[in-house]
Structures are given as C-alpha cells and as structure tokens.
Structure 1
C-alpha cells in the first residue's frame, strides 16, 4: 500500500478518476435502494451521482491530454490516505440516516483528497482542476440540500415521513412488542409454578432467569431467521432478532427479579410473590398501551386480550405449582 506522498501526478489523477467512478456507483446504488421507499430522496442521490460522473469526465479529459488513454489501475484501497469502511451500500433497506451519513463521509474524504492533491500537483492545469474539485466537494452538502429543497416538496416530505414511521414500526416496534408479549406472558407459568412448588425465592429466581434468557435467545433466532427483510422491507434480520430477543428476556426478567428478596426475611416468599404480581399487572397494561399507541388496537380490546391471556397463563402456573 502506498502513502499519499509516494503518488505521482499521474497516479493522483488516476486515483481521482477511480474515486469519482466509485462515488457515482455508490450514489446510484443508494438511489436504487431508496427508489420504492423514498422516491424524492432517491432523485437527490441520482443528481449527486450525475455530479460525480461530470467530475470523472473532467478528470479523464485532463488525464488523456497529459498522459494518454491508458489509466493507471489504482484504487482507494491501494493508498493509506483513505479510510476503510464497511460497504454499507451492499445492504438493502438502509435507513436514511445511514445513507446520508455515508454520503457526508465520502464528500468530506473527497474534499481532503483533492485539497491535498492540489498542493502536491506540479502542473498548473492539474492544480487548478483539483482545487476547483476540492471546492465543489466542500460545498456538495450544500448542493444536496438545494436538491432536497427543490425535489422534496411538502407532500413528498409528508409521504417520506409516513414511510419512515412505517419502517420504524416494522423494524423496531413490531419485533419488540412480539418479544415483550412472549417474554411477559409465556414465562408466567414456569416462574409461578416454580414459586408455588418450591416456596423458595432463590430457586424460583433461577427458574425465571433461565426461562427468560432461554426464551430471549429462542425468539431472537426465530425472528432473525424468519425474514431477511429484502422483500418485506423489515430491515436487518440481526437488528430485528436482537430487538425481539432483548425485549423477550426483559419481559420475563421483570417478574423474576422480585424473587431476589432474601429468604431470611419473614414472609419473604409472599412478599416476593406479591411484588411479582404487581409487576405482572403493569407489564400487561404496558403491552396493551403499546398495542393501542402503535398498532391502532382499541385500548379496551387490547387490555382484555392481554390481561385475560396473562391471567389464564398465570393461573395455570399457580395451579400446576400448587398441585
């Protein structure tokens, strides 16, 4: 790998051409990825790709005049000036923030490269072009902002905001709610069965902890493997699996923690069980609220479904444990 100081003027121009080609392709990939979800923002990146293509052509014309048609095969990875970053543009259904952040990083890197290359160049014509490109890259964020103000109308922004809300529901709220419901309800039976079978707080805590973590791991893998998000637009399977697994574990641990009440305290079992019962009550009502807030389910209907289901599971655990 070469350092920047080792590059010849010919290699600098060739690297600039390759970099503009790379930026052009990345921005077109972003535009393609955004086309169905955010059509107006996709146009912004199409315009940015065209700007990069025009830069590439100016550099190529200058290179041909100076060094001929044979362009040196040098890329960003061959020079230690450029920061190595994961190829996020190969991932489908990226968030707008991720895409815009990547674009900002690429433009900042391009500005630094052209500024340093202009200082390194000996030929006046090369120096002039590189300086102009440095200024263009420095103001590219402003260009993007102008493109957004032109292309992103009020209706387009409202549509994209609605799409963002939908994606938030699909990628975070829905898997989180599924996990919370499963963790809060499915672990009730083993926790309270263990409690009434042993009347031991510590043994009950161990059973609840194992049930919660086991359910979290199982639900996390199930969600991650159920859908890669490429067709449904539900985002990264790892992210969804992580959200589901975490919320499942939290849902179960909530009514398990009260059984950490020391057994040496008088009536420790009933104190822990009473606290656990209160925690269960709030867990079920929180789930009902989330379903009402984000899933448009009438509150009374959501509460009846969740509370009734939880009560049945809770009673099942108590009856089995007391048998």
Structure 2
C-alpha cells in the first residue's frame, strides 16, 4: 500500500512507521513537531526507530499543504494518529484540541473523501468512555458523558467519521487505545513520569490515593492491532467500525509502581493526592470485537514490558531522569 501516516514522530506513530516499512509498504509521514513535549525526543525517536521514513514537517490545519501532500502521494490508505493528546492539558489549552482534533480531523476526512482514499484508520481513545461506561468497556456502550475536552474531541471524531462513512461511503476504522506504554513513550504519561522520578529519587504524585486501575497496553500490541485493522478494512455493509485496542487486564496503580521500583532498584517516594479533574478511576478494554475481526490478541504483561522502559529512561535521560 501507499500510506500517509500522520503523527509519525509521535510515540505510537514512529513504531507504526517502523512496522509498516518493515512490511514493505510505501509510507510518507507527517508531524508538526509541536512543543507539547520536547520536540527533540520526537526527532531522536524517529532517528532510532524509523530513520528511513520520508517525514514531512506539516500541520493538519494547513489545508493547502495537506492537499498538496495528498496530491503528491496519492495514498491508498491513511493512518491518522496525529492529535493534541493529554487529558489534563485540555483543561489548560482547550483551543489546541479544537484546532488539531476537530479542524484537523475534518481536513483529513475531506482529503480522504475527495482523493478516493480506500481506507482511513484513525486513533480514538479509551477516554471516550467517560462516566457512563461499566468495565469491561465494550464498543457497544455509550460514549456521551466525557470527563474532559480531550475525550469529547475523540468521541466527536468517531461521530464525524461515521457521518462521512454514511454520506460518502468512506471506509473508516476507529481504534480506541488504552494507556499505551513502551520505550520512547510520551514523557507526560505515568509510565515515564513514574520511571524517571523513581530513578532520580524524586517523589511521584499518586492520584485518588492510589485507588486507580489502568489497562496498560504495550506499544507492540497496539502496533499489531493497527496492522491487523489495516489488513481488514471495513466494507459497504458497515463502512465505519470502532475497535478497542487494550490489554483487557487492568492493573492496580500500586502494582504498577512496584514493578517500576523493582526495575529501578530503589523505592518510590509516593505522595498521595485526591482525584484529578478529567481522570477516570478504572479502564478496562473488552477486545473481543478486535479479536474476532482481525485476530487481535495482546501478549505483553507489565512485568515484561516495563523493565525495558525503565532501562530506556536510564539510558536516554541519564542522571536527569
């Protein structure tokens, strides 16, 4: 396939680019290298994981630049992973989410529609389940009570893709990611925040007094799900589909911290705090739909997946972890 991959310098994006290139696909990536976190990590990530990638510096909201790229590449598929991420940051800078996650997504939909893209895969999030969901979270549950603007924009993406599928026959697949972790991960997420703090002897904030569970999913399992969905596009009968991609095994926050402590060889200094606005107490993916559709089956437990993350933090950040 000829694939346009957005957010290609991001955490999931760079691993996805690596896997696509290894599978023999022609891939053109784009990223705006914004400063939500240090752009140098993005550059280093690409250099380490997919240095041969044709990567363009481009923003989703640049309609002219995006149109020119699609005209040049003429993709048969688009994997749209670019977005303004982060639940808590959406409380501070809501406009960034409107620009990237809503306006940017409309640009992607319009380009796919008018350029005859055969299949659009796009990143959604477990955050869409909000207050209305009951674990395990199933794709059939309602997603109309989000706890953050970030979650609201991701739920809106699903509605927008559904509308384009019904109106224009666009074949689209939404993938709800559940707390993805691994080496080269996002530094604003708990796996890296905790690992770096424990290594450096700094205290960590443990919200909701530690009474939280997360469906931590290794990036290798997520990438396997993306490639599986890519190989099994939707059809005319159901042009728009949504799948959970998670580990379907929620982990207690205290257990997660214990795994980090063991890998780091030192105890964590825990500061217990109340629940943060926008956070969810528990996430758990029901992955049966993805398993039935394209054989998705996550295999990486945190006891195996987190020690390499701690080792990578030690190597990459050094004494300033």
The structure with more radius of gyration: 1
* Fold shared, TM-score > 0.5 on shorter chain: no
Higher strand share: 2
TM-score after normalising by structure 2: 0.23
* Structure with the higher helix share, 1 or 2: 1
User: If the length of structure 1 is used for normalisation, what is the TM-score?
Assistant: 0.23
